[in-house]
Structure formats: structure tokens, C-alpha cells
């Protein structure tokens, strides 16, 4: 079983902090890229948990978090493609 590298998780967390600091000024393209990277990490964590014998509830929770991040990334990418530069709350 290959663990998700801590450096990869740390990079996604640092990216999240930068976007949070930017607030509404964070662009949709960057938000989409971040959410895609986040989804990829969460998908690897979910797969790792499934292979590692974690409980079905834990695997489902990790997979659900990944799916929600992937969906949000798609929404942000569509907004960016439509020329929407900022996502409002």
C-alpha cells in the first residue's frame, strides 16, 4: 500500500490557505485547479483506505469528500470557461 505523500497533502493545504487569504478575489480558474488537486488527493486517500481495510463508513466518507471536491472543481471550471472570474458566496 502506497501512502499519499505528506508533501502532496501539505501543498494542497497551503494552496487552500492562499485561496482563503485571497477571499472573493480568488479567480475561478485557480479555484478550479485547486479543487481538482484536492479531489485527486482525496481520491488517493479513499483508495488507500479501501485497500487498507478501513471500515466501509470511512471509505465512503473519503470517497464522498473526493466526489464533492470533483463536483465543485467542475462548477468552478465551467464558471471560468464562461468568463466568470470570481465565485461569490
Answer for the pair 9, 49: CB distance below 8 angstroms, yes or no. Answer: no
pTM for this model (two decimals): 0.86
Domain boundaries, the chain: 28-83
- Looking at residue 2, what is its pLDDT? 67
Average pLDDT score over residue span 52-72: 94
Average pLDDT score over residue span 53-78: 94
* Strand ranges in 37-77 using DSSP code E only, listed in sequence order: none
pLDDT tier, 89 (very low <50, low <70, confident <90, very high otherwise): very low
Look at residue 4 and give its three-state secondary structure.
coil
Other Cβ atoms closer than 10 A to 65: 17
Supply the mean pLDDT for the chain. 91
Residues 6+ apart with CB under 8 A from 89: 24
**Residue 48: all three cell numbers together:** 488507500
pLDDT tier, 85 (very low <50, low <70, confident <90, very high otherwise): confident
pLDDT tier, 65 (very low <50, low <70, confident <90, very high otherwise): very high
Q: Is 72 a residue whose pLDDT tops 80?
A: yes
For the chain, give the number of residues: 89
Amino acid at each position: 500500500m502506497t501512502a499519499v505523500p505528506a508533501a502532496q497533502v501539505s501543498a494542497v493545504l497551503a494552496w487552500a490557505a492562499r485561496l482563503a487569504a485571497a477571499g472573493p478575489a480568488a479567480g475561478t480558474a485557480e479555484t478550479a485547479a485547486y479543487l481538482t488537486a484536492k479531489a485527486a488527493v482525496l481520491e488517493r486517500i479513499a483508495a488507500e483506505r479501501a485497500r487498507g481495510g478501513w471500515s466501509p463508513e470511512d471509505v465512503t466518507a473519503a470517497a464522498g469528500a473526493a466526489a464533492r471536491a470533483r463536483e465543485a472543481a467542475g462548477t468552478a471550471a465551467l464558471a471560468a470557461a464562461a468568463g466568470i472570474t470570481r465565485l461569490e458566496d
